[in-house]
Chain A
Amino acid sequence: MKKRIVRIAVAAVLLAAGLVLHHLEYALPTLLVCVASYLLTGYRVLWKAGRNILHGKVFDENFLMSIATLGAFIVGEYPEAAAVMLFYQIGEMFEDMAVKRSRRSITELMNICPDTARRKTTDGSEIISPEDAAVGDVLLVAAGERIALDGTVLSGSAQIDTSALTGESVPRTVRQGDAVHSGCIDLDGTLEMRVDKPFTESTASKILELVENAAARKSRSENFITRFAAWYTPTVVVLAVLLAVVPPLVLHEPFGEWIYRALNFLVVSCPCALVISVPLSFFGGIGAASRTGILVKGSAYLEALCDASAIVMDKTGTLTEGVFEVTEIEPHGCDSAQLLRLAAGAEQFSSHPIAVSLRRACEDLPDDSQVTDVKAFAGKGVGAMVCGRNVLVGNETLLRENGVDCAHTDSIGTVVHVAADGIYAGRIVVSDRIKKDAPQTIRALRQSGLRTVMLSGDRRSAAEATAEALSLDAVHAELLPADKVTELEKILNEEKGRTVYVGDGINDAPVLARADVGVAMGALGSDAAIEAADVVLITDEIKKLVSVRSIAQRTMRIVRENIIFALAVKAAVLVSSALGLTGLWLAVFADVGVCVLAILNALRALKHNEK
């Protein structure tokens, strides 16, 4: 680097001398000084160009620069030839610096896997590479260290910083028995943890792999640029040849001037600014997203998120907490506690979320031995003998089928009817809570022009109540998993833009896969969801949807800026060169200068400030 600067400085001094000599019209000394300056900065370019031609690779940057500058010597523009090579070298130096800087930012961002871990041994501990740790090994994590593998805390407690994975800045406390993920930093205490997953399957390395491989799923903009670059260079070179030959022959003018104009074309013909800045912007966007706890599996999805016109969401677990609570008890011929005891008793052995909520609400659960003859009626409810009474717990249909009459209700939430010994005993309403950040998220999404739709397997009244509370644009309820796909396909056909589907990734994998962009929520540690989705929100905060959309929009804006800026500058310089208005100087700027500016602009995509 230092050598490079010295070389450039000496060449600049020589060039200045050359300019003075040129002004005084000493032809031969001018030529000698200019050649010296030129060789000092350009020898590597010339050498590479020669070597590459031997390799059968003709149209590269080095070759084009060599031809352009040697051409300038031939047409007698000595100081200009030297100046252009100098200017080109300065540009290249800035370009290298910009690339290095962006690589450093990205590496910092991806520095979530520590290089070492400390394994407990019989007589102390040893430092190992995380790859060598086996499942079941015991690791020691000291304050300030990053956790290398996914595992469970065996002893100790500590505050851990999960921000590298979740973007959440508030530390989390972990104690014995808690699961910890790799990539988190232990802030204060010492932890002893058991390794649960080998290195390659641990969260941090999975995230890294996803972000790195994101380059493979290319967006339309990226494909456009690669295709464009493939024909851009040959076209410009052909135009240069035509420009050098045709006008002089047709207009009977001297070749010198037109060859000089053609040389400009050669300098502008490198597509580097385009080829580098578009993927770099996308990578920056993906990096910014991963820092806020959002994994985007490819630039194609950032583009699609930006083009989205509808966002379809699952209800339970996505818009609502997915945790049911007893909200109303209406006993009929008994008291509330008795009704709850019968219902919770009958549901004693069920793991259904509603059963769990009934048990949680009941303060006086009957013993397991008091519940016998449990029968499940799929999709309707259960029946059991509870404390010697024949209890039925379920929906209206179940009770009617068993000859028990019950009043129809329009409560918000899920209604559980209870009958004891063939007589109606009352009803319990269980409902799900809307997530705290859901209303603001829906508002923001609607404001940004998205149609919001909810799909739910829940009862119509419950689904509609949620939709109304959140002021969603549309709701489709009482859907089986297969119906959700059909419903989504209808929306896909109706919408002009792309359709995003957001779910928890557990039972809606087919829907996630069918949507233009499938977003899985709260997927930390869930491999199935990470596999099925295109975008993964690591925490279950729905407001991250707003973040990812704004990152996508910002990234696309930067991509467009870069494409338009680079093309516009190149086109303008081509036209003005053809007309003889501008010289090689500006052509070099249109090559390396534009490249540096585009890289610096692309780096902005990395920065995303959570508002």
Chain B
Amino acid sequence: MRKVYLLEDLCCANCAAKIEKKVAALDGVDSASVNFLTTKLIIEADEAAAGDLDAAVRKIVRKVEPDVTVREIAK
């Protein structure tokens, strides 16, 4: 399953790298990548983990970079 989030106002590249690392380490996430230029977070995850994923991602982003707004992009 693929999920795409837009991280609005992401302005620190190091924070982007941290978010990427932490999201990738979540249970059920196969891969995560933050594209600093398009400010998109793209996650490949198990179908089963989908329920908790959203809240977990938001929590990570809030912790690493509180000024960023997370918006999921519908496909």
Contact = CB atoms under 8 A, between A and B. Distances in A.
Interface size class of B (residues with CB under 8 A): 20 to 34
A275 interface: yes
Contacts of A57: 63-64
Nearest to B35: A215
B34 to A, nearest CB: 8
Interface in A38-94: 51-52, 55-57, 60-61
B14 A103 contact: no
A271 interface: yes
B14 A212 contact: no
A158 B57 CA distance: 48
B17 A275 contact: yes
Contacts of B14: 61, 229, 270-272, 275-276
Nearest to A216: B33
Interface size class of A (residues with CB under 8 A): 20 to 34
Contacts of B21: 226
Contacts of B35: 212, 215, 283
A491 to B, nearest CB: 31
Interface in B1-31: 11-17, 21, 31
A280 interface: yes
A157 interface: no
B55 interface: no
B63 A99 contact: no
B38 A96 contact: no
A539 interface: no
Given A55-B63, A61-B12, A272-B12, A215 B33 contact: yes
A102 B37 contact: yes
A424 to B, nearest CB: 63
A270 B18 CA distance: 13
A96 B11 contact: yes
A275 B16 CA distance: 9
Given A52-B66, A57-B63, A276 B33 contact: no
A61 B15 CA distance: 10
Interface string B22-54: 000000000101111110101000000000000
- Most chain-A CB neighbours within 10 Å: which of B35, B37, B66? B37
A106 interface: yes
B37 A275 contact: no
B19 to A, nearest CB: 12
Contacts of B66: 51-52, 55
Contact of B36 (A61, A270, A279): A279
- Most chain-A CB neighbours within 10 Å: which of B13, B14, B36? B13
Contacts of B12: 61, 272
21 contacts: A51-B66, A55-B66, A60-B15, A61-B14, A99-B11, A106-B38, A107-B38, A200-B75, A212-B38, A212-B40, A212-B42, A213-B33, A215-B34, A216-B33, A226-B21, A229-B14, A270-B14, A276-B14, A276-B36, A280-B36, A283-B35
Interface of B: 11-17, 21, 31, 33-38, 40, 42, 62-64, 66, 75
**Which 4 interchain pairs have the tightest Cβ spacing?**
A276-B13, A216-B33, A215-B35, A275-B13
